[in-house]
């Protein structure tokens, strides 16, 4: 017998750290699951004989623990830390494209009848990403020592998140691992496609805004002062047009307070990050992102699409509803939506349906609530959620196209207005100067 230290989550997602006594690692995992926990890391601390002292010499053995024991002091280089500690270069995040390609290829190999270990070895030899290659080495070792694929994945949480691990676990339990892997690859591909579309739609506005700020700053700092000197020399202190005086005042302010402006911008960005790390601040910014006039609808539709596709994929793969809701809650990326999913989780846990708590959150339109209600009544919730996700994927595409079509001319007009105002402001005094010179010359003749 040996003592194993473990980290696990309960049905609500709360993390537990404890110890349990078992014959080997697989028995420890089974015992932890029997208590209603979902282990995320399990490592041997020491043998029971070493910890029981004289009891071991008398031939006695400690009975398996009835529940999680208080966490023992952690010893450096031993136990749980030695089990799950990763090299530094593994602690980064593997690109979604690499993980999706691996998942798709592994699904193809397993579906073709190749054993799982053989498929992993084949992909490991052709894997170029060092982080993923190292992870596959560890996964192969754990599977070879008797662990399951899902258990091996839990040792690499930076690469395989809870969604991935729990879907693989459900696929192993149902004997449909290749189907689950295909669903995972499809889910990742669609999610990445939506993300890339949203990013692509934002590139053009950002480039134009940066160009507008750069051009304006260049004109105010470099060009306008030279015109100001010309006006002083040629007009002898005469009053300038209002728009010209405004532009010159702006130029002087930027020249004399450039460092202050830069410091204010940096302070604002830093303050936003600091406030965003607090629970109330992060919640406020998430609400703001959903309420923004132009981009709010896009953010809302993207969040609903991601939520419904994730939940539908989990349910169709055989993951229990409460566990699925916990995973979705932790992967939405928006605290407003996460709070709504937590309300749904609490309602389902009490034996109620999902419709009522969803209808009470303003993020979810009536169509989504109605589809969920129909899915619950017909027993086809996973299918309905997938349909909602497909619908909102199309709406995101349309919203991105519409936003891009509207923003491009608006930004061009905005940039043209700034530059045009500066040009007009500089030429109005020049026209006066030219007129006065022409008038003086004509009178002399």
Q: Residue 355 above 50 pLDDT?
A: yes
285-306 mean pLDDT: 86
Beta bridge partners of 137: none
The span from the CA of 167 to the CA of 319, in Å, is 7
Banded pLDDT at 264 (limits 50, 70, 90): very high
For 27-86, how does the pLDDT look when each residue is reduced to its tens digit (9 = 90+)? 787 788 778 777 767 777 655 444 444 433 333 333 344 444 444 333 334 344 334 444
Half-sphere exposure (CA, 13 Å, Cβ side) for 76? Answer: 0
Alpha carbon distances (Å) from 318 to 16, 167, 382, 440: 24, 8, 10, 92
- How high is the pLDDT of residue 353? 86
User: Is 3's pLDDT higher than 50?
Assistant: yes
**N-to-C CA span, the chain:** 116
In angstroms, rounded to a whole number, what is the distance separating the alpha carbons of residues 319 and 106?
A: 21
The pLDDT value recorded for residue 384 is 92
- Average pLDDT, integer, range 203-232: 85
Say whether pLDDT at 213 is over 70: yes
β-bridge partners, 20 = 4
pTM of the model: 0.60
How does residue 266 score in pLDDT terms, banded at 50, 70 and 90? Answer: very high
What lies within 8 Å, CB to CB, of 359 at 6+ separation is 366, 369
What is the structure's pLDDT at 267?
93
Residue indicated by tokens 């754990």: 142
Distance CA 149, CA 165 (A): 9
Is 51 in contact with 90 (CB distance < 8 Å)? Answer: no
Q: What is the DSSP letter of 62?
A: P
Which positions ≥6 away from 336 have C-beta within 8 Å? 283, 286, 287, 290, 361, 363
Q: Is the pLDDT of residue 444 over 80?
A: no
Region 276-283: what's the mean pLDDT?
A: 86
The set of long-range contacts for 376-379, using a CB threshold of 8 Å and a minimum separation of 24, is none
Q: How would residue 11 be classed by pLDDT, with cut points 50, 70 and 90?
A: low
Residues facing residue 368 across a β-bridge:
none
**Any idea which of 170-184, 343-357, 419-433 has the lowest mean pLDDT?**
170-184
Judge whether residue 261 has pLDDT over 50: yes
What are the pLDDT digits (tens) for 71-101? Answer: 433 333 434 433 444 444 444 577 888 888 8
422-426 contact pairs (CB < 8 A, 24+): 422/216, 422/219, 422/220, 422/224, 422/247, 424/243, 425/241, 425/243, 425/244, 425/246, 425/247, 426/223, 426/224, 426/227, 426/244, 426/247
Report phi then psi at 4, rounded to 5: -115, 135
| Beta bridge partners of residue 199, listed in sequence order | none
List, in sequence order, every residue forming a beta bridge with 328; answer none if it has no partner: none
With left for phi above 0 and alpha for psi between -120 and 50, is residue 59 left, alpha or beta? left
d(CA 11, CA 6): 16
Q: Which of 9-13, 104-108, 336-340 has the lowest mean pLDDT?
A: 9-13
* Residues of the chain above pLDDT 70, percent: 85
- Reply yes or no on whether the pLDDT at 439 is more than 80: no
Residues 153-163 have a mean pLDDT of 84
Residue 200 or residue 11, greater confidence: 200
Question: Mind listing the domains of the chain with CATH numbers?
Answer: 2-85 (no CATH), 94-187 (1.20.81.30), 190-434 (no CATH)
What secondary structure letter does DSSP report for 247?
Answer: H
Q: State the pLDDT at residue 379.
A: 86
* Averaged confidence pLDDT in the chain: 79
Indicate the length of the chain as a whole number.
445
Task: Report whether pLDDT(137) > 50.
Answer: yes
The residue-averaged pLDDT of 283-312 equals: 86
Q: Mean pLDDT, to the nearest integer, of 393-422?
A: 83
Q: What is the pLDDT of residue 53?
A: 45
Give the closest residue to 308 by CA, choosing from 355, 368, 354, 380.
368
What pLDDT, on a 0 to 100 scale, did the predictor assign at position 404?
A: 76
Q: How far, in Å, CA of 351 to CA of 198, rounded?
A: 38
Taking residues 107-116, what's their average pLDDT? 86
Helices 381-444, 296-316: axis angle to 10 degrees equals 160
Q: How confident is the model over 331-336, as a mean pLDDT? A: 82
């Amino acid at each position: 017998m040996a003592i194993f230290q473990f980290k696990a989550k309960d049905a609500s997602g709360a993390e537990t750290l404890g110890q349990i006594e078992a014959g080997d690692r697989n028995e420890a995992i089974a015992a932890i699951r029997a208590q209603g926990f979902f282990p995320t890391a399990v490592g041997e601390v020491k043998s029971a004989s070493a910890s029981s002292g004289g009891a071991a010499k008398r031939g006695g053995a400690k009975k398996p623990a009835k529940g999680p024991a208080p966490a023992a002091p952690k010893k450096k280089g031993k136990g749980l830390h030695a089990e799950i500690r990763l090299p530094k270069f593994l602690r980064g995040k593997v690109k979604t494209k690499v993980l999706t390609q691996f998942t798709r290829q592994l699904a193809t190999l397993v579906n073709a009848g190749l054993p799982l270990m053989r498929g992993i070895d084949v992909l490991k030899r052709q894997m170029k990403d060092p982080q993923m290659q190292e992870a596959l080495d560890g996964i192969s070792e754990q599977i070879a020592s008797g662990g399951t694929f899902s258990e091996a994945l839990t040792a690499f949480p930076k690469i395989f998140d809870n969604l991935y691990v729990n879907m693989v676990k459900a696929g192993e339990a149902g004997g449909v691992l290749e189907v689950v892997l295909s669903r995972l690859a499809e889910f990742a591909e669609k999610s990445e496609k939506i993300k890339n579309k949203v990013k692509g739609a934002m590139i053009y506005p950002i480039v134009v805004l940066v160009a507008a700020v750069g051009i304006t700053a260049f004109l105010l700092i470099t060009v306008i002062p030279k015109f100001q000197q010309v006006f002083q020399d040629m007009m002898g202190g005469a009053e300038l047009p209002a728009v010209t005086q405004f532009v010159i005042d702006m130029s002087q302010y930027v020249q004399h307070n450039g460092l202050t402006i830069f410091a204010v911008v940096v302070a604002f960005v830093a303050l936003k990050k600091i406030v965003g790390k607090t629970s109330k601040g992060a919640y406020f910014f998430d609400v703001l992102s959903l309420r923004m006039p132009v981009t709010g609808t896009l953010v809302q539709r993207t969040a609903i699409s991601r939520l419904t596709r994730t939940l539908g994929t989990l349910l169709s793969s055989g993951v229990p509803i409460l566990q699925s809701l916990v995973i979705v809650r932790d992967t939405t990326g928006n605290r407003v939506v996460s709070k709504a999913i937590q309300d749904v989780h609490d309602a389902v846990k009490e034996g109620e349906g999902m419709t009522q708590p969803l209808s009470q959150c303003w993020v979810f339109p009536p169509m989504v609530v109605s589809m969920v209600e129909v899915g619950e009544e017909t027993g086809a919730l996973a299918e309905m959620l997938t349909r909602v996700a497909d619908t909102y994927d199309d709406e995101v595409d349309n919203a991105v196209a519409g936003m891009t079509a509207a923003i491009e001319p608006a930004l061009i007009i905005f940039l043209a207005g700034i530059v045009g105002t500066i040009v007009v402001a500089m030429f109005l005094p020049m026209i006066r100067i030219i007129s006065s010179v022409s008038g003086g010359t004509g009178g002399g003749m």
